[in-house]
Structure 1
Amino acid sequence: MKKILIFLFISTLAVELSYAQDALRAEGVVLNSSTSTALEGVNIVNLNQVKGTTTNENGEFKITAKVNDTLHFSYLGFKSIKVRVTNDWLKYGSSNIELTELALALEEVVVSQLKLTGFLEVDIKQVPAINSNYRYSISGLEGTGYEASQKSGLTKVIGSIFNPADFLHRMFGKKPNELKKLKKMKEDDEIRNLLAHKFDREMLTILLQVDRVDLDEIVSQCNYSKGFIQKANDLQILDAINECYEEYKLLSRGRTRKI
């Protein structure tokens, strides 16, 4: 009788452990709300655990999640949404997620023609300046260093050693969890692949809990050029912020030891 009770206890425990493991994964299908057709390649990110995935050809997905985690769904041409993971979702299995299609609108493009006078000194001022940006490395630090314009040169590099990362500290000093997400985002291959093909900064602002203006200001204060900020994809922006903060930590430790 004792052996039977032990066997039943072990069996029950095994079932509970199996359920617990399954409960750490949310499953579902992403559909077009207007046509009910499956959407392939939808980007899905767990904002709490900083894990990412995409839907397959049938619109299906599986992602690590627990109760009250928030999943962010984004797809080109569709409105992004956030969905909270509930106990029923994890308990009863797959759930349908519907995305609403956005109307596409092209911005008006204004083409300005150069009006040449024939005088070189006058005409040359009308030609847009070529964006020449250089990277300066700092001795003792790994990585490619800071980007600075040719005009400001070494002065910007020296100023960037203390000022930009101080700005980062002010931005994230009260949000230690957001700083931890920088490392998680760099380590997750799905997140990196997702960001490498995005230029809208939407995912970065959501994960780091800052608005677009502050995000651009962070990169600017880290002495990355306006041209870089405008042309870089989201992954490059992520790496730029992370690199700046990591270098700041090394420099801060050095300054503390000297003091």
Structure 2
Amino acid sequence: MRYFTVFFLYIFSITAFAQETTVQGTIVNDNTLFPIWNVNIVNTNKVRGAISDAKGNFEINAEVNDILLISCLGFQSIEVKVTNDWIKNRTTRIKLTEKAYALEEIVIPPYELTGYLEVDSKLIPERENYWYSIAGLTQRYEGGENSPNAFGRVMGSLFNPADALYNFFGKKPKELKKLRELKNDDKLRGILQNRYDRQTIYLMLGINQKELNEILERCNYSEAFMKTANDLQVLDAVSGCYEEYKILKKK
């Protein structure tokens, strides 16, 4: 009986230890101290997401030193590190500062339009993009207008993308594991679907804007996609490219 009790306590302690810890908090306006609802909270270490309720309260899985990215429309985004005292107290109050918006000057282009399509189409100059032709290939490549590294991108597209992507994917196994975990959190996917600032992506994958753009270029995504896609679409694109990279590497 004594051995059974010890064994039971051992199993119970392992189960309790294996459970994920959670932290709670309240998001308030730094100026009015009123609660802010519908705030997005993303744990970039655990790949978990949460949204504050009508009282500004939220709860999310987190451990000490995890980084929470907190953002809301009309407020400045902040990064908050989970501390030991927060874990012990279970809750804290976080203040967000409203953004100050300034009206930008509107510049009217010096084109006098007549309202007739045939005439106006000749008044407005067309953009001249640089195209490259390579001997032996029937397809031309558009490098973009006055693009200083256009030729480099054209030549890079002819080689196996796995060679270039290894510098990113091969050296960041922990960060890329988060891409697979992303599929398991519907709340986080919903948050990323409404974000376009790439801040969450930079923190999760440990890369900067230049590296992310290079990854998407090597994966044959257009500049239009890079500019208009939401964060979830970008992460799914990187994840799909990574899976293709692993297949190419095996071959």
TM-score, reference length from structure 2: 0.74
- Aligned counterparts, 1:1-259, within 5 A: 24-114=21-111, 123=122, 126-127=125-126, 151-152=140-141, 160=157, 162-254=159-251
Instruction: Tell me the distance in 2 between the aligned counterparts of 1:123 and 1:168.
Output: 44
Offset, 1:209 = 1.3
Amino acid at match of 2:122: D
Amino acid at match of 1:191: L
Offset, 1:48 = 1.4
Moved more, 31-40 or 17-26: 17-26
Answer whether contact 2:44 2:200 (CA < 8 A) is retained: no
Amino acid at match of 2:63: K
Counting matched residue pairs gives: 226
Q: Unpaired runs of 5+ in structure 1?
A: 130-149, 255-259
Q: 1:107 to 1:172 in 2, by over 3 A?
A: farther
Offset, 1:151 = 4.9
Offset, 1:177 = 1.1
Q: CA RMSD of the aligned region, Å?
A: 3.6
Instruction: Tell me the distance in 1 between the aligned counterparts of 2:154 and 2:185.
Output: 31
Q: 1:176 to 1:20 in 2, by over 3 A?
A: closer
Instruction: Tell me the distance in 2 between the aligned counterparts of 1:221 and 1:106.
Output: 37
Name 2:148's counterpart in structure 1. Answer: none
**Deviation per residue, 1:150-189 (Å, 9 max, x gap):** 8549xx9997585433322212432221111222223321
Secondary structure of 1:238's counterpart equals: helix
Secondary structure of 1:31's counterpart equals: strand
Offset, 1:108 = 3.9
**Deviation per residue, 1:94-144 (Å, 9 max, x gap):** 21111122212344444435468x998x93882458xxxxxxxxxxxxxxx
Answer whether contact 2:76 2:96 (CA < 8 A) is retained: yes
Answer whether contact 2:111 2:123 (CA < 8 A) is retained: no
Instruction: Tell me the distance in 2 between the aligned counterparts of 1:43 and 1:107.
Output: 28
Amino acid at match of 1:67: V
Offset, 1:58 = 0.9
Answer whether contact 1:32 1:99 (CA < 8 A) is retained: yes
Instruction: Tell me the distance in 2 between the aligned counterparts of 1:158 and 1:251.
Output: 20
Instruction: Tell me the distance in 1 between the aligned counterparts of 2:20 and 2:183.
Output: 26
Instruction: Tell me the distance in 1 between the aligned counterparts of 2:55 and 2:244.
Output: 44
Offset, 1:250 = 1.5
**Deviation per residue, 1:59-108 (Å, 9 max, x gap):** 11010112222222111222222222222222222211111222123444
Instruction: Tell me the distance in 2 between the aligned counterparts of 1:216 and 1:235.
Output: 15
State the identity as a percent: 42
